[in-house]
């Protein structure tokens, strides 16, 4: 770990709302995207001439295209209900990380240009021009929102800061002020096929290696097929699953489930990525283009079902947006939901008695479950609302003996973001990421102390990467975090040649 | 017909036109703006009846605010409920004969005025006492509270301190409704009360009071969780498919 240049907040037994510390995070800003990165996505390479007028014009277009943005910019009454709900505010005390204040960075400009009161009585309603300083504030603080939607749960009007952050990033991209991390990754998806830039042949090697590892471990011929035409299931998973720790253990888990259930499945080198960073930058066209690879892959491979691996925002895009963006899916088997989450697949198989487990294999683990924000508040699993909470927990209980939930106000739809979502999982934001993880880590510490929890399961590639990185700052071992299918993998019974 | 009566008659016609016209314009704008993606805050209802119930809980009980902050909920809910009762009570000045339900609510409406003031007071104290709320408060947030407090205070003063000729006021209001203008008593409290109400009506469609229609158009609350079953392609997004 590199020398820490910031203060890691202490973990408290009884968290309190922080005292405001103005500009505490004013210096935290991600690298700006270079011209080549921007150009690859069709965005200007640097801040354009006349950026002010172009930004205002873009804002006008977006408020005409998105009802959410229009209504949310109008409806806020500054009641403060959201003000203590954002993990970044709770971890940093910076008032501009209160959701209402973050929204107001855009709202004050919206009011100045698009409302009667703001045009004629700007001081009265806090309307302001989009100066260079305000634009810099946008860049800093709209890159301190992980689009986790916790604020929207508590807002009396359901105002979702994520919608405003996405619009702000879209406006900034359109005037040449893109964020390097997200935009570089989107470029990689288009160029190579996945966020990590893993080319097809390397992927093939990696998967062959996994087959050998699992054979050595279990003696079973569990396959990891790539581009297998005629397979029933196309699995689309975050590319971190191919080699990052602990992600890969969940990929092994998916493979074992398919193996044990006798389902012929495949991954695709064309769509070797479930993640869709187009959502993070609020760009519909990018989101659609990235998603379209999955439709193309399913058609090309003749798959009958599409299953998505453990990934939070990817599941949001898949569950909530795919049908609209790249549907209709009339070429797939209509007996299954499209898309289907890997947890839905595993849960269904467990319900049908198609899988057998040695739960004792997980007895060295005392497990808790971290609800990933985008799964919790922007998607569903199964047939009833809240299935996204009950299904992963039911799987854990089916494969392990020791499970304890964290405090109720920190799980399910009130869950805290890991602190690294929404395009912020980049090293230059480590200060923000560590502090943003504080509310989750405090809740984790409570169950560690009370129940001896030593494993936090989650179903998101970003959560896994983020916690692996930040847990050590708080004195926890990075191997405490892992996937739900990592637990499945440990306990599942395999027939040697199934 | 005095100049005063004519000015207030015109003032109320103007304020009503701004209120109705402004709100209608805003509602039409919200309704016409596409919602290109499904974004209900989940868990969300799977059908329209469920959404209707979710919206009802939100609008009638302020469910999300209750989850968020009990103090803001207590004061906010008290104010809004009291305002509703007070408005219903005021229907007696616009109807002849007075509707039975308004007669029934009459005694409640009187207590409600005090509850309304208490709610507003609590909300206003929060704007000063809670640093987070103080940070996000703009002058208009305070002025809006001041406006509502003054309206309630002048109303209560007429009821309990300096009475006005309420029969004449009712005649004036009915005269406005039936375009048969009647003289308005020239009591300062009454004129202040009416002028402030007219101001509130006029600023409604251009202020944060837009939260009232806005909540009904909030996609995170009013959308059905049916993204896997139905496509929701906006007109501008459909153009991309060509």
pLDDT by 10-residue block (mean), chain B, 242 residues? 94 97 97 97 98 98 97 97 96 93 89 96 97 97 98 95 95 95 95 97 95 97 97 93 82
Enumerate the residues of chain A whose CB falls inside 8 A of the CB of residue B234.
65
Q: d(Cα B183, Cα B162) in Å, to the nearest integer?
A: 19
- Could you say which of B67, B211, B240 has the minimum Cβ distance to residue A157? B211
- Which of A17, A66, A115 has its CB closest to that of B206? A115
- Say how many CA atoms lie within 13 Å of B56 toward its Cβ: 7
- What is the pLDDT, as a whole number, of residue B51? 98
- Residue A3 has what pLDDT? 56
Q: Quote the minimal CA–CA distance from A34 to chain B in Å.
A: 28
Residues 222 to 261 of A: which have CB under 8 A from any B CB? none
Q: Which of A279, A300, A299 is nearest to A289 (CA)?
A: A279
In whole angstroms, give the CA distance from residue A485 to residue A492: 10
Please tell me the predicted confidence (pLDDT) of residue B214.
Answer: 96
Taking alpha carbons only, the member of B12, B3, B49 closest to residue B175 is B12
The domain B3-34+64-225 is placed in CATH, from the list 1.10.3720.10, 2.60.120.10, 1.10.3470.10, 1.20.950.20, at: 1.20.950.20
Q: Is B90 on the interface with A (CB under 8 A)?
A: no
On the question of a cis peptide bond just before residue B43, with omega within 30 degrees of 0, the verdict is yes
- On whether any CB of chain B is under 8 Å from the CB of A493, the answer is no
> Which two structure tokens, joined as six digits, stand for B33?
């703006």
pLDDT of residue A496: 58
**B227/A319 CB distance under 8 A:** yes
Q: Does B67 touch chain A (CB under 8 A)?
A: yes
CB–CB contact B225 A380 (8 Å) = yes
| Residue A158 to residue B132, Cβ atoms within 8 A | no
| Three-class secondary structure of residue A367 per DSSP | strand
CATH class in words for A35-178? mainly alpha
Taking CA–CA distances from B207, the nearest residue in chain A reads A117
Task: Give me the sign of the Cα torsion angle A43, A46, A47, A53.
Answer: negative
pLDDT reported for residue A498: 46
Enumerate residues 126 to 185 of chain B having a beta carbon within 8 A of any beta carbon in chain A. Answer: 126, 130-133, 135-141, 143
CB contact under 8 Å between A125 and B138, yes or no, is yes
Residue A495: its pLDDT value, please? 76
Q: Verify whether the Cβ–Cβ distance B132 to A66 is below 8 Å.
A: no
By the CB < 8 Å criterion, does A319 face chain B?
A: yes
pLDDT tens sequence across B5-58: 999 999 999 999 999 999 999 999 999 999 999 999 999 999 999 999 999 999
Number of residues that make up chain B: 242
Give the mutation candidate from A20, A65, A66, A67 for the B interface (greatest B CB count, under 10 A). Answer: A67
Provide the pLDDT for residue A367. Answer: 98
- List chain A pLDDT tens, one digit each, 498 residues: 455 689 999 999 888 999 999 999 999 999 999 999 999 999 999 999 999 999 999 999 999 999 999 999 999 999 999 999 999 999 999 999 999 999 999 999 999 999 999 999 999 999 999 999 999 999 999 999 999 999 999 999 999 999 999 999 999 999 999 999 999 999 999 999 888 888 989 999 999 999 999 999 999 999 999 999 999 999 999 999 998 999 999 999 999 999 999 999 999 999 999 999 999 999 999 999 999 999 999 999 999 999 999 999 999 999 999 999 999 999 999 999 999 999 999 999 999 999 999 999 999 999 999 999 999 999 999 999 999 999 999 999 999 999 999 999 999 999 999 999 999 999 999 999 999 999 999 999 999 999 999 999 999 999 999 999 999 999 999 999 999 999 999 999 997 544
Contact between chains at A124 and B38 (C-beta distance less than 8 A) = no
Write the CA distances from A93 to A229, A246, A282, B71, B199, integer angstroms: 53, 32, 26, 21, 38
| Interchain contact, B133 vs A83, CB within 8 Å | yes
Q: Do B218 and A117 touch (CB under 8 A)?
A: no
Asked whether the whole model's pTM tops 0.90, one would answer yes
Instruction: Report the gap between the CA of B111 and the closest CA in chain A (Å).
Output: 25
Cβ contact, residue pair A320, B38, below 8 Å? yes
Chain B residues within 8 A of A157 when measuring between CB atoms:
211, 214-215, 218, 221
Quote the distance between the C-alpha of residue B58 and its chain's center. 15
Beta-carbon separation of A124 and B37 below 8 A? no
**Domain chopping of chain A, boundaries:** 35-178, 187-491
- The string over B65-95, giving b where at least 16 C-beta atoms fall within 10 Å of a residue's C-beta and e elsewhere, is bbbbbeebbbbbbbbbbbbebbebbeebbee
A80 contacts in chain B (CB < 8 Å): 69, 72, 126, 130, 132-133, 136
* Residue boundaries of the structural domains of chain B: 3-34+64-225
CA distance B217 to chain A (A): 7
Q: Would an 8 Å CB–CB cutoff place B56 in contact with chain A?
A: no
Q: Give the tokens for residue B92.
A: 């007696």
A304's tokens: 């009958």
């Amino acid at each position: 770990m590199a020398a820490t240049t910031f203060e890691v907040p202490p973990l408290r037994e009884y968290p309190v709302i922080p005292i405001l510390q103005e500009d505490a995070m004013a210096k935290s800003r991600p690298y700006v995207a270079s011209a080549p990165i921007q150009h690859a996505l069709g965005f200007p390479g640097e801040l354009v001439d006349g950026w002010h007028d172009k930004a205002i014009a873009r804002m006008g277009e977006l408020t005409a295209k998105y009802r959410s943005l229009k209504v949310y910019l109008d409806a806020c009454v500054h009641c403060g209900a959201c003000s203590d709900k954002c993990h970044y505010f709770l971890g940093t005390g910076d008032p501009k990380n209160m959701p209402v204040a973050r929204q107001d960075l855009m709202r004050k400009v919206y009011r100045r240009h698009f409302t009667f009161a703001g045009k004629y009585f700007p001081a009265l309603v806090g309307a302001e021009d989009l100066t260079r300083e305000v634009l810099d504030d946008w860049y800093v603080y709209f890159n301190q929102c992980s689009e986790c939607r916790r604020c929207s749960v508590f807002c009396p009007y359901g105002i979702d800061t994520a919608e405003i952050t996405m619009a702000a990033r879209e406006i900034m991209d359109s005037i040449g002020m893109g964020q390097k991390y997200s935009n570089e990754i989107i470029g990689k998806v288009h160029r190579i096929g996945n966020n990590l830039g893993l080319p097809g042949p390397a992927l093939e090697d990696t998967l062959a290696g996994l087959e050998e590892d699992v054979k050595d471990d279990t003696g079973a011929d569990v396959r990891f097929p790539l581009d297998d035409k005629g397979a029933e299931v196309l699995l689309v998973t975050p590319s971190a699953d191919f080699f990052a720790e602990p992600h890969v253990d969940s990929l092994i888990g998916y493979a074992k489930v398919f193996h044990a259930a006798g389902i012929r499945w495949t991954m695709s080198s064309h769509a070797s990525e479930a993640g869709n960073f187009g959502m993070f930058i609020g760009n519909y066209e990018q989101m659609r283009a990235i998603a379209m690879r999955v439709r193309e892959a399913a058609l090309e491979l003749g798959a009958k079902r599409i299953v998505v691996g453990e990934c939070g925002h990817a599941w949001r895009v898949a569950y909530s947006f795919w049908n609209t963006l790249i549907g209709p899916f009339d070429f797939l088997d209509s007996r299954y939901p499209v898309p289907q989450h890997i947890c839905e697949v595993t849960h269904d198989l467990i319900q049908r008695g198609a899988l057998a487990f040695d739960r004792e294999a997980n007895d060295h683990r005392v497990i808790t479950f971290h609800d990933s924000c985008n799964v919790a508040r922007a998607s569903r699993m199964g047939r009833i609302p809240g299935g996204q909470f009950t299904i992963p927990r039911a799987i854990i209980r089916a494969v392990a003996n020791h499970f304890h939930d964290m405090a109720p106000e920190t799980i399910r739809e009130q869950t805290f973001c890991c602190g690294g979502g929404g395009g912020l999982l980049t090293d230059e934001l480590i200060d923000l990421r560590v502090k943003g993880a504080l509310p989750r880590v405090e809740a984790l510490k409570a169950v560690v102390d009370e129940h001896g929890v030593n494993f936090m399961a989650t179903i998101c590639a970003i959560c896994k990467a983020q916690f692996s990185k930040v847990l050590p700052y708080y004195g926890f071992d990075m191997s405490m975090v892992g996937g739900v299918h990592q637990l499945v993998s440990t306990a599942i019974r395999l027939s040697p040649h199934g | 017909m005095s100049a005063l009566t004519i000015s207030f008659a015109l003032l109320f016609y103007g304020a009503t036109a701004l209120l109705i016209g402004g709100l209608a314009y805003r509602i039409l704008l919200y309704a016409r703006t596409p919602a290109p993606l499904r974004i209900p805050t989940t868990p969300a209802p799977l059908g329209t009846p469920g959404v209707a119930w979710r919206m009802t809980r939100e609008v009638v009980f302020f469910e999300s605010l209750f989850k968020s902050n009990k103090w803001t909920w207590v004061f906010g809910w008290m104010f809004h409920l009291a305002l509703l009762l007070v408005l219903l009570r005021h229907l007696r000045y616009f109807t002849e004969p007075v509707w039975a339900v308004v007669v029934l609510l009459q005694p409640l409406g009187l207590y409600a005025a005090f509850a309304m003031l208490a709610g507003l007071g609590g909300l206003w104290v929060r704007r000063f006492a809670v640093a987070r709320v103080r940070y996000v408060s703009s002058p208009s947030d305070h002025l809006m509270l001041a406006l509502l407090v003054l309206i309630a205070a002048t109303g209560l003063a007429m009821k309990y301190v300096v009475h006005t000729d309420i029969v004449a006021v009712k005649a004036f209001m009915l005269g406005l409704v039936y375009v048969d203008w009647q003289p308005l008593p020239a009591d300062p409290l009454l004129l202040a009360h009416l002028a402030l109400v007219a101001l509130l009506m006029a600023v409604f469609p251009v202020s944060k009071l837009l939260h009232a229609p806005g909540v009904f158009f909030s996609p995170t609350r009013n959308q059905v969780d049916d993204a896997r079953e139905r496509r929701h392609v906006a007109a501008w997004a459909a153009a991309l498919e060509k």
